[in-house]
């Protein structure tokens, strides 16, 4: 069902409570290390200001577990947003209660406040109806722009929808549109690139995506489990033996559907996951018993590149190697560079994969880099997200 957005609501003069994902990396002195998540919400905030709404922002930050933690106050976030917007963003010391209600009642059109960290209240994560109700007293309309938190059934994500009209913000709209586009008539050929640390985290995506794509390219740590399933020795690379059955099932399904799965033909191996380690390139049938897989090799990069160049749609989740260590990052960087140059729809999901693409400075060259780590994985697995489920839709 198509979801309603802020464009479908009359927001002028209204108190609009906007759930955003301002869960930014911040040091103990309140210095924000990366403000991507703040910037991602700007379209919604600007729209609401331009349309003369009274904007009440709310977010969680970190894991304070239902108690006030002085290091996790949202004040530094309000300051940064204020700098970006060249406009006052008033940080409040609480999220609910008479004091907050009073401040909100005196807001003028176009003004912005930021409520205190929602997770200072135990009712947020337990989805307590009392907490949702108290939040709802602050507003006339509730907007969810926190795609990255929408896989969690928390009070500010699902509970509020019981009490207020509930529509999508513009970031939420973009995330839903871009991620859904992969499954609704994608241009073909359509490739999925899968990697990352563990098969266990990705099996849901593989199961879902295998019936939608034409080819699957597998690298990263999960490649080891697939290779072992094919009978290769993978040295001391971690292998998820309890996932072998699932791997077999996926391979059988791929065969039935005529979807080709490409595994690495060569690999970079090292004796440990450290930058001081000596690396070597080895063929897949020649992995030394005392070494572990840390990246895909040059032949594999070449083969993956050739396949990707034929594609019109690519979904990517999971780095090809331990990209955090520069000498193990070549596979991930090469694949990211190929995607950046491709004349195709390229959609990136997963927190670490997005981080890698950002690190290589290629975000703007992709069709879409999802802001939702876990949420994007759940979406790609074909599961509904509780926060999206409760958004009002068109009949």
Q: Which residues are annotated as a binding site for substrate?
A: 21-23, 37, 60-63, 119, 152
Of ligand ADP, Mg ion, none, which one sits near residue 5, judging by CB under 5 to 8 A according to partner kind? none
**DSSP code, position 172:** H
Nearest 5°: phi and psi at 390?
A: -85, -5
Does 150 contact Mg ion by CB under 5 A? Answer: no
Distances from the Cα of 130 to the Cαs of 165, 174, 287, in angstroms?
Answer: 17, 31, 58
Active site residue 37: yes
Least distance from ligand ADP to the Cβ atom of residue 273, Å: 7
Q: Which of 365, 395, 367, 386 is nearest to 146 (CA)?
A: 386
319 counts as binding ligand ADP under rule CB under 6 A: yes
* Residue 148, contacted partner among Mg ion, ligand ADP, none, CB below 5-8 A by kind: none
Residue 64 or 195 having the CB closest to ligand ADP:
195
The C-alpha atoms of residue 371 and residue 380 are separated, in whole angstroms, by: 13
Residue located via tokens 């975000």: 363
Neighbours of 8 (CB within 10 A): 14
How many alpha carbons lie under 13 Å from residue 49 in its C-beta half-sphere? 15
Cα distances (Å, whole numbers) of residue 246 to 18, 185, 192: 40, 27, 18
Q: What is the 3-state secondary structure (H, E, C) of 338-370?
A: HHHHCCCEEEEECHHHHHHHHHCCCHHHCCEEC
Could you say which of ligand ADP, Mg ion, none residue 146 binds, taking C-beta under 5 to 8 angstroms by partner kind? none
Q: How far is the CB of 356 from Mg ion (least distance, A)?
A: 10
User: Whole-number minimum distance, CB 124 to ligand ADP, in Å?
Assistant: 24
Active-site option among 123, 220, 350, 351: 351
Q: Does 334 bind ligand ADP (CB under 6 A)?
A: no
> Among 136, 225, 329, 353, which residue sits at the site for ligand ADP (rule: CB under 6 A)?
353
Q: Which one of 351, 354, 362, 378 is in contact with Mg ion (CB under 5 A)?
A: 351
Residue 84, both tokens? 């970006």
The alpha carbon of residue 382 and the mean position of all alpha carbons in its chain are separated, in whole angstroms, by: 14
Residue 323: CB minimum distance to Mg ion, A? 11
352 near Mg ion, rule: CB under 5 A: yes
274-303: string of b/e by CB count within 10 Å (b at 16+)? eeebebeebebeebeeebbbbbbbeebbeb
**Under rule CB under 5 A, how many of the chain's residues touch Mg ion?**
2
Of 166 and 199, the one with the shorter C-beta distance to Mg ion is: 199
Question: Tokens in use for 89?
Answer: 């963003």
Using CB under 6 A, which of the segments 23-31, 39-47, 339-347, 348-356 binds ligand ADP? 348-356
Q: Which stretch binds Mg ion (CB under 5 A): 33-41, 57-65, 318-326, 343-351?
A: 343-351
Residues with Cβ within 8 Å of 255's Cβ and at least 6 positions away in sequence, in order, are none
219 is catalytic: no
Identify whether 351 is a catalytic site residue: yes
> In this chain, which stretch among 66-74, 103-111, 192-200, 362-370 interacts with ligand ADP, using CB under 6 A?
192-200
Which is catalytic among the residues 3, 14, 19, 37?
Answer: 37
Which residues form the interface with Mg ion (CB under 5 A)?
Answer: 351-352
Which residues form the interface with ligand ADP (CB under 6 A)?
Answer: 195-197, 201, 220-221, 293-294, 317-319, 321-324, 350-353, 373, 377
Active site residues: 37, 198, 351, 374
């Amino acid at each position: 069902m198509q979801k309603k957005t802020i464009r479908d609501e009359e927001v002028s003069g209204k108190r609009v409570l906007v759930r955003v994902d301002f869960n930014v990396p911040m040091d103990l002195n309140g210095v924000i290390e990366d403000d991507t998540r703040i910037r991602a919400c700007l379209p919604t905030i600007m729209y609401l200001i331009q349309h003369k709404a009274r904007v009440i922002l709310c977010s969680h930050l970190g894991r304070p577990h239902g108690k006030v933690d002085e290091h996790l106050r949202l004040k530094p976030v309000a300051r940064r947003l204020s700098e970006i917007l060249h406009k006052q963003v008033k940080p409040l010391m609480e999220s609910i209660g008479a004091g907050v209600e009073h401040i909100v009642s005196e807001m003028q059109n176009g003004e912005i406040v930021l409520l205190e960290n929602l997770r200072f209240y135990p009712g947020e994560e337990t989805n307590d109806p009392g907490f949702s109700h108290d939040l709802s007293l602050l507003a006339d309309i509730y907007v969810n722009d926190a795609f990255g938190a929408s896989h969690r059934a928390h009070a500010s994500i699902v509970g509020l929808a019981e009490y207020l009209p509930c529509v999508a913000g513009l970031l939420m709209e973009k995330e839903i549109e871009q991620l859904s586009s992969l499954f609704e008539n994608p241009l073909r050929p359509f490739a999925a690139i899968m990697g990352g640390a563990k098969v266990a985290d990705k099996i849901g995506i593989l199961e879902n995506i295998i019936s939608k794509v034409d080819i699957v390219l597998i690298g990263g740590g999960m490649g080891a489990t697939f290779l072992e399933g094919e009978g290769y020795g993978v040295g001391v690379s971690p292998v998820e033996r309890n996932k072998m059955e699932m791997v077999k099932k996926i391979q059988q399904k791929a065969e039935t559907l005529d979807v080709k799965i490409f595994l690495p033909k060569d690999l970079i191996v090292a004796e440990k996951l450290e930058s001081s380690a000596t690396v070597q390139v080895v063929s897949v049938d020649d992995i030394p018993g005392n070494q572990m897989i840390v990246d895909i090799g040059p032949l594999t990069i070449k083969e993956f590149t050739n396949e990707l160049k034929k594609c019109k749609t690519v979904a990517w989740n999971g780095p090809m190697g331990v990209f955090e260590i520069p000498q193990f990052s070549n596979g991930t960087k090469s694949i990211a560079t190929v995607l950046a140059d491709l004349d195709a729809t390229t959609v990136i999901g997963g927190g670490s994969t997005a981080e890698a693409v950002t690190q290589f400075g290629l975000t703007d060259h992709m069709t879409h880099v999802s802001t939702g780590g876990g949420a994007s994985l759940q979406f790609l697995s074909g599961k509904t997200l509780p926060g999206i489920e409760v958004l009002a839709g068109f009949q």
